[in-house]
Structure 1
Amino acid sequence: MTTQDPVRPLWDYDTIANGLREQGWIHLQHGIDDALALALLQDIHQHDSEQWDPAGIGRRQNHHTNELIRRDSTHWLNGATEPQQRYLAATEALRLELNRRLLLGLFDYECHYARYDAGAFYRKHVDAFRGRSNRVLTTVTYLNPDWAPNAGGELVLYDEHDQELTRLSPTLGSMVIFLSEDFPHEVLAAERTRFSIAGWFRNNNSIQGVVDPSR
């Protein structure tokens, strides 16, 4: 595929929009096809350890690392490889279709590879505080073939009363999308290394014509 090729939709946009409208989140057991998921996993393995950053909490001047809260590492996608281009083209199409159906005003999308080594975790948190962030929708796409049910590493979503809503295994090609402000969530420790793509559709909180920066 080249950047000029038409993008074949990866998703049923109406299904995603209806899930977000009705409950604020949706789990897609087959979010992306296995071929793309494996191509992205292969892309991950092209990056050596120096190209991964310890994941932090907070944004911009408040960004810092805290291993009591999270112990994963990240590598941001920039479209430098063909699998990244395919994934980013698909999320751009999703952005446009969700804006058309839900009038969310989504402006752009940022995402990174996430690597959780055995025993790594991310304690319960929210991706956006009400009125204080431009993150609107969170996406997590999993890239783990042959993931055993007892291997751990689940994503746990909670409701506003901290009651568990669902527990999702990070199986190859599965995906979850949810409203960033509304759902506390955590990543449980796994028995082996697991990979995913974490991303956010954002609004543009620009001031005097200056585009609000990502990350």
Structure 2
Amino acid sequence: MLNLDNEYPFERIATDLQQTGISILPNAVGIEVLQKLEQRLVELGKDDFKQAGIGRQSAHETNSKIRRDKIHWLDRDNTLEATWLNYMDSLKTYLNRRLFMGLFSYEAHFAVYPPGAFYKKHVDAFKGKTNRILTTVLYLNQQWEDNDGGQLVVYDPNDHQQIFTQVLPTYGTLVTFLSDEFPHEVLEANKKRYSIAGWFRVNTSINHDIDPPA
């Protein structure tokens, strides 16, 4: 576990969430963690990734008009994957102490966007219906340029047609935002793009209704 007395970058994330509901932090993660995650990506084969879908349980389906990424869910049984889950446990502890968010659990997956892949505008949770509260995205792309595409486009929570910001998916950048506030999309990637998408939940549900995946 991390030393929570070392407040950066967690304090920066907490402050950003308080002020705007979103944090975009380059170089947020130490090189040791990043290298372990890269090592795991090298180990994984094509059969370890599944076509991502939309919706949950019986409503789950794949739709190539909406998203074309492939995913692999992280599991604590793998020590390399557990590196990221443990890091997020430390962030959860810090945010609960600092912002009293009541974060309870975390799930995450590797996402691979082959050239031509995208994910159309969506929200990760719907107000008043779900227990997904905070979204995280870590990028694992070295030497990524503007013309490589794959930008994360975040829309204004008060005007879903207005772009709030765009994020280039550069190595070690961590994006954290309120799941039900910010519509977002991933623009078409022009070369293979890697990330880890994850979600913190609170320990509650409404009519057993689970929110859709991002």
TM-score if structure 2 supplies the norm length? Answer: 0.90
Match of 2:89 in 1: 92
Return 89-98 or 28-37, whichever deviates more.
Answer: 28-37
Match of 2:191 in 1: 192
Please tell me whether the aligned partners of residues 34 and 172 of structure 1 are also in contact (alpha carbons under 8 angstroms): no
Q: Cα gap change, 1:193/1:72 in structure 2, threshold over 3 Å: closer, same or farther?
A: same
Q: Residue 203 of structure 1 aligns to which amino acid in structure 2?
A: V
Q: State the superposition RMSD in angstroms.
A: 2.2
Q: Cα gap change, 1:176/1:187 in structure 2, threshold over 3 Å: closer, same or farther?
A: same
Match of 2:112 in 1: 115
Q: Percent identity?
A: 44
Aligned residues: 208
1:38 Cα deviation from its structure 2 partner: 2.9
SS at match of 2:103: coil
Instruction: Report whether the alignment pairs 1:37 with 2:34.
Output: yes
Please tell me whether the aligned partners of residues 110 and 214 of structure 1 are also in contact (alpha carbons under 8 angstroms): no
1:35 Cα deviation from its structure 2 partner: 3.5
| Long gaps (5+) in structure 1 | 1-5
Q: What are the superposed Cα offsets for residues 24-77 of structure 1, whole Å, 9 maximum, x if unpaired?
A: 001011121233223212201211111111101112222111110000010000
User: What does 1:14-163 correspond to in 2, within 5 Å?
Assistant: 14-160=11-157, 161-162=159-160, 163=162
Instruction: Report whether the alignment pairs 1:13 with 2:7.
Output: no
Q: Residue 180 of structure 2 aligns to which amino acid in structure 1?
A: E
Please tell me whether the aligned partners of residues 144 and 170 of structure 2 are also in contact (alpha carbons under 8 angstroms): yes
Moved over 4 A (4+): 8-11, 212-215
Return 122-131 or 54-63, whichever deviates more.
Answer: 54-63
Please tell me whether the aligned partners of residues 54 and 65 of structure 1 are also in contact (alpha carbons under 8 angstroms): yes
TM-score if structure 1 supplies the norm length? Answer: 0.90
SS at match of 1:61: helix
Match of 1:3 in 2: none
| Long gaps (5+) in structure 2 | none
Please tell me whether the aligned partners of residues 124 and 212 of structure 2 are also in contact (alpha carbons under 8 angstroms): no
Q: Residue 107 of structure 1 aligns to which amino acid in structure 2?
A: F
